[in-house]
Amino acid sequence: MQATLKVYRHDPDAGGKPTFQPYPLELPEDATVLDGLVKIREELDGTLAFRASCNRGFCGECTLRINRGGRLACMTRVASARTKEGEVTVEPIRNVRVLKDLVYDVDQLLWQKIKAVEPWLQPTVSQPEREHVLSDEQLRPVRNAMKCYYCGLCDEGCSVIPFDNTFLGPAALTKAYRFVSDPRDGARAHRLRAIGEPRGMWDCVHCFEADEHCPRGIGPTHRIMDLRDAAVGMGIKSGTRNPQVARHYDSFAASVKASGWLDEGRLALETWGVRRIFDLLPVAWRALRRGKLPTPYRHPKRPGAERISRIFEKVERRSP
């Protein structure tokens, strides 16, 4: 099989601009992109830098952007990836600091964030010696999160990280979920408070790109939702530095309870308060010009609002 791998080349230490270097190759029909990169390095250009390890889709080391999509190079066949012209573009994933060619700073992308969520079990202090036998059912969520092999594809697809690289991101939050869902862990409230601060779980915009990208089927976006549910269940509706999250949560529920649907004007006002609401005026003006803000602003009760209100009352009676 003939294919041309167009490979991103850049050495920031040497200066200059990044280029895509074409490497025409003769490869077996079942060759993967990683096979192609190895062939280039061994036969054509020993200076090409890339990272790989298991070659079995197990370690998550060879995460790259292949034809503009995040993939594992060892699990991507050249035959299926190449264009009509027989080309495959290979470059580092987005939102990373490139060290050389296809090697990027994984410490910045993943490890520092994962370290921030304290990725170790903190047993209940009251009974540290006790053997803690768990059922299969209790361990299922933990095992699901433990399937993560830190490939970083969820962070690559994340909609928030391109705007704010300090956002913890779905990979680190999935790690946090692994411990929050572990019945042996005694630091649940502490963990939920920590990841509830700015740049944590409440900054996820639930675009579900992380779920789309995760090759292990862990569903990182859903795990972030689970973390939020767990926090709210423990009465932790925000961190100490983002109290507007709790106000947003309460206002959302109060609005739906009162009228059967969301009153966006009320939500903005109660979330941000009168002083901060002025910061939102440019957004409101743009929405008005595009016909997205009804004038005059009205928010009538929707049919069946009383029934919705009764559901709220029922749930509130059941809550501790």
Q: Which residues bind ligand SF4 (CB under 6 A)?
A: 60, 148-154, 170-171, 174, 213-214, 216, 218, 220
Nearer to ligand SF4, 58 or 285 (CB): 58
Q: Which residues contact residue 98 at a Cβ distance below 8 angstroms, ignoring those fewer than 6 apart?
A: 10, 12, 18, 92, 104, 105
Calpha distance 96→98 (Å, rounded): 6
Report in angstroms how near the CB of residue 214 gets to ligand SF4 at its nearest.
3
Report in angstroms how near the CB of residue 60 gets to ligand SF4 at its nearest.
6
User: Helix, strand or coil for residue 103?
Assistant: strand
Nearer to ligand SF4, 188 or 213 (CB): 213
Edge-to-edge strand ranges of the sheet holding 2-9: 19-26, 2-9, 87-91, 63-66, 69-72
Report in angstroms how near the CB of residue 247 gets to ligand SF4 at its nearest.
31
Calpha distance 14→99 (Å, rounded): 11
Nearer to ligand SF4, 215 or 260 (CB): 215
What is the per-residue burial (b if ≥16 Cβ within 10 Å, else e) of 232-270?
eeeebbbbeebebbbbbbebbeebbbbbbeebbbbbbbb
Nearer to ligand SF4, 87 or 118 (CB): 118
Nearer to ligand SF4, 60 or 196 (CB): 60
Report in angstroms how near the CB of residue 217 gets to ligand SF4 at its nearest.
8
Report in angstroms how near the CB of residue 147 gets to ligand SF4 at its nearest.
7
- Structure token digits, residue 212: 């789309």
Calpha distance 204→15 (Å, rounded): 36
Nearer to ligand SF4, 94 or 257 (CB): 94
Report in angstroms how near the CB of residue 61 gets to ligand SF4 at its nearest.
11
